[in-house]
Structure formats: C-alpha cells, structure tokens
Amino acid sequence: MLPTVSPFSNEWITSVVFLLGIFGLIGLSELARVKLNWTPELSRKFVHVLVGLFVLMSPFLFVSNGPPVALAIIFIIVNLVAIKSKKFEGMHATKRISYGTIYFPLAYFILCLFWWERQITFQISLLLLTFADTAAAIVGEGVRNPESYRPWRDQKTIQGTIVMALTSALLTGLGTTLFRSIAGMEPLELQLLVPLSLFVAAMATIAEAVSDSGSDNLSIPIVTAVTYDLFFESVGNGSVAVLIMWILLSFIMAQGAFSLRVLTSDGALAAFILGVFVFGIGGWKFMIPLAVFFVLSSLLSRIGKKSKKDQRQSFGKGSERDMVQVYANGGIPLILTIWWLYNPSDIIYFAYLSSVVAATADTWATEIGFFSPYVPRDIVTFRKIDSGASGGVTFLGSVGGLLGATVIAASAWFFILDVKVLYLVVAVGFAANVFDSILGATVQASYTCGGCSKRVEVAHHCDEPATLISGSRFINNDTVNLFCTLSGGAIILLVG
C-alpha cells in the first residue's frame, strides 16, 4: 500500500475539497477557452491531464475507497448533465462526437471499486490514461502529414499509435519503479520490468486503437489493470514463458481468422485481447471450450455460405464477425475469466463454461437451423416467419443447439469430471438459448425496409433507413446475444 497523508481528520472533508478542486480546474479551462481563445480540443486535454493528476493523488489522500467512489459517481452524473445541456464546452467540445468525459469517471469508479487494494496497478492504469493517451492524441492531431488508418470506428494515425506505445512502455517502467519505491518494495528486476512494460504497452495501445467516441478513456485503464496483474500472477506462478505462449497462440488464431475472413480486422483485434486474457488467465481449462466454440462455429458459418448470404444480409448476421459480435458472444466469458483471476473458484469456472455453452447453443441453433426443410415458427406466437429471423425456431435448429451445448460441455470433461455438473451446464446453456429466442421474438428491434418491403433486423437496408415495426431500437441481435451468455453464467452463479 502507498503511504497516506490525509490533510483533514475526516476523509469526507477531504473529498469535498477534492471535488471543489476539480470544479476549479473545469472553471479554469472555461476561462482559458474564452479569454485566451484556446481551442476546445486544447482545453479538453488541459482538463484531462489536470484531473488525471488529481485522481492519481487519491491513494495518498484516502485510506478507504468510499469517498473516491462517491466522487466518481458525482462526476459521472455531472458530465452526463453537462453533455446533454451542452455546458462546459472546455470539457466536452471536440471535432467529433465523444463521451470521453463520461468514460473517464466511469473508469475511475471501476478502478476504485475493484483495484483500490492493488494501488500500484491502480496508479499505472491512471498514468497511461492521463499521459499516454493524451500524448498520442496531441501527436496524432498535430503531425502535418499523418498516416491514417481506421482499426474500428475512430480514425487513428500511425504516428499517434507509435507514441501511445512508446509512452505507455516508458510510463509503465518508470511508474512501477517509482511506486514500488514509495511503497517500500524491492525494485523489479530489469529482466521482468522490460517485458512487463512491453506487454502492458502493447495491450493498452490496442485498447486505444479500437476505440469509439472516447471509449479509450474506459478501455485503456481497465485493460492496463488486468494486463498488469496478469503479468505478476504469471511471475508468481513461474509461468511467464507459458503466458508468452498464450499470447502467440492468441495472435495466430486471430490472424488466421482474419485471413480466412471469419473475423473483420477489428474483430480480430478484439479476439486477440479476449484470447490473451482468457487463455493467459485460465490456461487449458478456459482455452479449450472457447477454442472449440470459435473453431467449430466458424466452420458451421462457412458451410452453405452462399445459400445463407441473402438471409444474413437481411437480418444483420454476416459470416464475418466484427468487434461488437465478438464481445457480444465472448464478453461475459471474458468478465468471468477476469473475476476468476482475482477469486479462483469452481463456481466461477462453471459459470464461465455455461456462458460459452449458451453462446454455442445459440450459434449452432442458428447455423444448423438454416438447413431446416421446414419454415421456422415464432417461439412465442408459433406463427411461421422468415428463415433467419430472430425468435424463430425449428426442430433441426433446436437439435443443433443442444448438440453444440453438449460438445462444449464434453470439451471440459477432463477439468470437471462430474457428470451432474456437465448435465447442469448443458441444461442451463440450452435454456439460455431458448431465452435468447424469446428476447428475439419480443423485444429485439424489427424493421420494414422502405426499398424492398422486407422484414429486416437492421436499421438501414437497401441504402435507406428502415421503419421500426416492433421491439426496441436499442436492442439488436448483438444485445440479445449478450443477454444470452449473461443468463447462462448468471443462472449457474445463482443456483450455485
């Protein structure tokens, strides 16, 4: 733990002063923007760095995480109101739509909630968010002839990305040395400090690259925190070489999927991050079920690809998976794996397995159901609907979903060796698949295309907006898939 020097006898008084200090910085940025004609981008970076310095001081000012958590909640609410009312342009105004000022306190909230006791991890994560991200933005926007690329939705520059990587590595190395010294810990040996810095820098840089509308203010610190702790967990287990093997395997699988056009470029980057964490944290028992799901589901999606093409285009279920689709199916297993890193237990592994089983059952039911000779029926009304439409079920698709659930459960046999648990996982995973179909039939958005008059599940079709006819426009197929895997894991946690 880092030493604490509280300026007041009561931490809540400190938190009020802390709050007023941050508001003072925001007011100062507004004054500079108006009086000194600072651009909105410059004043926003000014606030970003100074607020970052403030929150970096929080472990030295607070013993408990209660006041910092409360401060984070206050600023999440304040920034939401400010964005909606278009106030404090010095904080929010950018050349593009950005919710970075929401993601920043949200990241601080998560770090305070879950990493407060791991204060060096906490500090390194905020260092990269405060300085490396800002340096990348300054260079990316300031270079005269930038080499641009678009890894996902936001356009990035090669120069900015290089600066992000170099600054992240430097800050990780220097920050680790500094904070370990302050905490009274032995300095980290150079042969560990260098790979740690490179590993954290690589993961943080990918997190920054695949951002959208300021989401890197959330992804950078969280990815950094997990990466940092994963490295030291591997050091403690004497398995750094094994971690390197998992990193290479994740890269090979992601690159192979991209080359085979199973994943888009952003989907491959997402799969790489997911693979590094899931494989690196959980080892074989986590890797095998996820790899079986990924490989076999990808093969299924390519079988009869031409015959499925028109249906996929109408219902937004292309054979190439992007980042959103990767995390819609793998996000809950990823969260459960990270939870297992900090609190390994059988029940968390069973929940992880159940969420992968749920994703597999849903995917296989869809892919195999495409080949049904009978028209699918709506799971709620039992009316005949178009093949490929969400909420539709067929006997063949249901058998396919049950088969997929069984295959994944069987892949974990050597790690569980309890038939009753495997039966439960299959049952829960298949039930989650049924829940997925019910959501698809009731609350998932369904549209009518103005061009071809077909029922579709995408907001734009035939190059024009489609008309919403049922469900919520905020719930699409990816949202339903996320709820499917969430329900699979949650049921196990509840009954366990």
Check residue 271 and give its pLDDT: 96
Residue 32 has pLDDT above 80, yes or no: no
- The C-alpha atoms of residue 99 and residue 216 are separated, in whole angstroms, by 10
| pLDDT score recorded for residue 148 | 93
Average pLDDT over residues 202-224: 96
Give the tens place of pLDDT for each residue, 108-123: 999 999 999 999 999 9
Do 425 and 492 meet the contact criterion of CB atoms below 8 Å apart? yes
Does 455 map to a domain?
A: yes
Structure tokens at 44: 């926003």
Answer yes or no: are the C-beta atoms of 422 and 416 closer than 8 Å: yes
What is the pLDDT, as a whole number, of residue 149? 94
What is the mean pLDDT of the segment spanning 197-214? 96
Does residue 190 belong to any structural domain of this protein?
no
Mean local confidence (pLDDT), 402-407: 98
**pLDDT above 70 as % of the chain:** 94
pLDDT at 54: 92
Average pLDDT, the chain: 91
Is the pLDDT reported for residue 30 higher than 80? no
Give 179 or 24, the one with higher predicted confidence.
179
pLDDT tens, 130-146? 999 999 999 998 888 89
Q: Could you tell me if residue 32 is inside a domain?
A: no
Q: Containing domain of residue 377, as a range?
A: 359-495
Residue in the block written with tokens 């820098």 = 201
pTM of the model: 0.93
User: Tell me: the pLDDT tens digits for 354-380?
Assistant: 999 999 999 999 999 989 999 999 999
Asked if residue 475 belongs to a domain, the reply is yes
Q: Does residue 312 surpass a pLDDT of 70?
A: no
Domain count, the chain: 1
Q: Is residue 405 part of a domain?
A: yes
pLDDT per residue over 412-424, tens digit each?
Answer: 999 998 999 999 9
Provide mean pLDDT across the span 428-446.
96
**Residues 182, 169: Cα–Cα separation, whole Å:** 20
Give the confidence band of 388 by pLDDT, cuts at 50, 70, 90.
confident
**315 confidence band (pLDDT: 50, 70, 90):** low
pLDDT for the residue 314? 55
Let me know if residue 80 belongs to a domain. no
Whether 283 is in a domain gets the answer no
Residue 95, pLDDT > 80, answer no
478: which 2 tokens? Answer: 């990816």
pLDDT at 457 over 90: no
Span 18-34, average pLDDT: 83
Does residue 375 belong to any structural domain of this protein?
Answer: yes
- On the question of pLDDT at 305 being above 70, the answer is no
Q: How confident is the model at residue 306 (pLDDT cuts 50, 70, 90)?
A: low
